[in-house]
């Protein structure tokens, strides 16, 4: 299998696409003090492809490829050997990253047996992540019907009906998806509860990635952000594909989402397998974990993320839970709320949506720089 790594350096380091005119200078680039490479994964997304048509349909399958790629990368780019390695992702990355990082960590034992240098896995950074689908679904009631973010967006009768579904869905999820995973029963619970909690939101016309705004364009075409079309067009230019090293055999246009991969993962119910236990296991092995969430994001909101971080069972649970939320500050102003203990940090980014670096570039860069330096937010 072949992944397409995009190593960011030089002029690429400080550019981003904002409109149809292409890339422009971006002073808040995350790699101001770090080397970054992006991996188009799982196979079939972005510019990635497989020589013989191989596919993956679960996060666990994809993790094997990621671990193999990371080992190969460091063996070939030897100047990076031994350096702190931080794995980052957002959205469905909340499911991916804990499993991927665990695979990289566990692979180190094999690398040592083969006389190779182990990967210095230092931390995992998850932005607006879907790490626990069930906590997130039931949190939609809080997000739509209280002042958890903005003023309530649904009417009272709708909110009451949603709230009444929470105990039923929580109980069903626990018995069918967590205590013992039953594919048919768990899928039925997910379908019923997803409809109960999500339909009222989408009827509002709000942007699921930023509840403070209405959706711009058709969500299936723009993801509520017309800028995504500019990015797609930019990446499809022949000269840009050449710079990125895209293999000529990849003839399809760049797309932000892959329907075939989405379908494959959907058929295995991949989303219905929380990865909270992987996060706990990484923390027990001294791999730091940052969970950051834009306060305006609905689809992977801060309420659901905070709930699973507080409910997670690990040796630092008691100390983490007793920490009050406090302001973290940038240039003398609150940039959000945070709680931290024993290597785990939870943080909100005030007035940011699902794409935190896009909405709050200055604050998100400060957050990342502090995290990479091992400093508290």
**At 6, is the pLDDT very low, low, confident or very high (cuts 50, 70, 90)?**
very low
199 vs 220: CA distance, rounded Å: 16
In the chain, % helix, strand, coil (3-state, to 5) comes to 50, 20, 35
pLDDT, residue 14, reads: 64
Rounded mean pLDDT, 27-54: 88
pLDDT, residue 99, reads: 98
Beta carbons within 10 angstroms of residue 123's beta carbon: 21
Residue 44 main-chain phi, psi, to 5 deg: 110, -10
Structure tokens at 360: 């709050």
pTM of the model: 0.94
On the question of pLDDT at 254 being above 60, the answer is yes
pLDDT, residue 323, reads: 98
Whether 135-216 and 82-132+274-377 are alike in CATH topology: the answer is no
3-state secondary structure of 281: helix
Q: For the chain, what are the domain ranges?
A: 82-132+274-377, 135-216
176 vs 183: CA distance, rounded Å: 8
- Find the Cα–Cα–Cα–Cα dihedral 18, 128, 265, 174, rounded to 10°: -160
Rounded mean pLDDT, 328-353: 98
Residue 238 main-chain phi, psi, to 5 deg: -55, -40
Catalytic residues: 91, 297, 354
Domain 82-132+274-377 has CATH 3.90.1300.10: no
Chosen CATH of 135-216 out of 1.10.287.410, 3.30.1360.40, 3.30.420.240, 3.20.20.140: 1.10.287.410
Which of 91 and 217 is assigned the larger pLDDT? 91
Bridge partners for 87 per DSSP: 124
Rounded mean pLDDT, 240-256: 86
**At 9, is the pLDDT very low, low, confident or very high (cuts 50, 70, 90)?**
very low
Q: What is the pLDDT of residues 114-163, one digit of tens each?
A: 999 999 999 999 999 999 999 999 999 999 999 999 999 999 999 999 99
Lowest mean pLDDT among 15-19, 71-75, 347-351: 15-19
Asked if residues 354 and 300 have their Cβ atoms less than 8 Å apart, the reply is yes
């Amino acid at each position: 299998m072949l992944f397409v790594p995009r190593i960011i350096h030089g002029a690429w380091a400080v550019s981003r696409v904002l409109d149809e005119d292409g890339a422009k200078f971006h002073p808040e680039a995350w790699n101001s003090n770090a080397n970054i490479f992006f991996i188009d994964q799982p196979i079939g997304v972005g510019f990635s492809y497989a020589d013989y048509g191989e596919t993956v349909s679960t996060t666990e399958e994809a993790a094997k490829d990621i671990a193999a790629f990371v080992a190969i990368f460091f063996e070939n780019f030897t100047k990076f050997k031994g350096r702190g390695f931080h794995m980052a992702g957002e959205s469905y990355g909340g499911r991916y990253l804990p499993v991927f990082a665990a695979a990289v960590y566990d692979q180190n034992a094999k690398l040592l047996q083969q006389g190779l240098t182990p990967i210095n896995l230092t931390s995992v950074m998850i932005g607006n992540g879907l790490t626990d689908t069930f906590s997130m679904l039931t949190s939609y009631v809080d997000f739509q019907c209280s002042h958890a973010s903005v003023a309530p967006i649904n009417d009272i009768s709708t909110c009451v009906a949603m709230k009444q579904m929470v105990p039923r869905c929580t109980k069903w999820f626990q018995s069918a998806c967590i205590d013992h995973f039953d594919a048919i029963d768990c899928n039925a619970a997910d379908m019923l509860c997803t409809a109960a909690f999500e339909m009222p939101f989408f009827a509002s016309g709000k942007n699921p990635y930023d509840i403070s705004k209405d959706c711009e364009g058709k969500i299936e075409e723009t993801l509520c952000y017309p800028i995504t079309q500019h990015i797609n067009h930019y990446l499809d230019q022949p000269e840009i594909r050449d710079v990125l090293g895209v293999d000529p055999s990849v003839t399809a246009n760049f797309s932000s989402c892959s329907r075939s991969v989405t379908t494959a993962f959907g058929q295995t119910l991949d989303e219905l397998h929380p990865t909270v236990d992987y996060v706990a296991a990484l923390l027990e092995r001294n791999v730091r974990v940052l969970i950051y969430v834009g306060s305006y994001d609905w689809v992977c909101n801060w309420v659901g993320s905070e709930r699973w971080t507080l409910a997670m069972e690990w040796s630092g649970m008691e100390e983490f839970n007793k920490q009050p939320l406090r302001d973290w500050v940038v240039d003398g102003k609150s940039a959000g709320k945070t709680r931290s203990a024993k290597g785990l940090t939870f943080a909100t980014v005030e007035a940011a949506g699902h794409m935190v670096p896009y909405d709050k570039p200055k604050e998100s860069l400060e957050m990342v720089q502090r995290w990479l330096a091992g400093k508290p937010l």
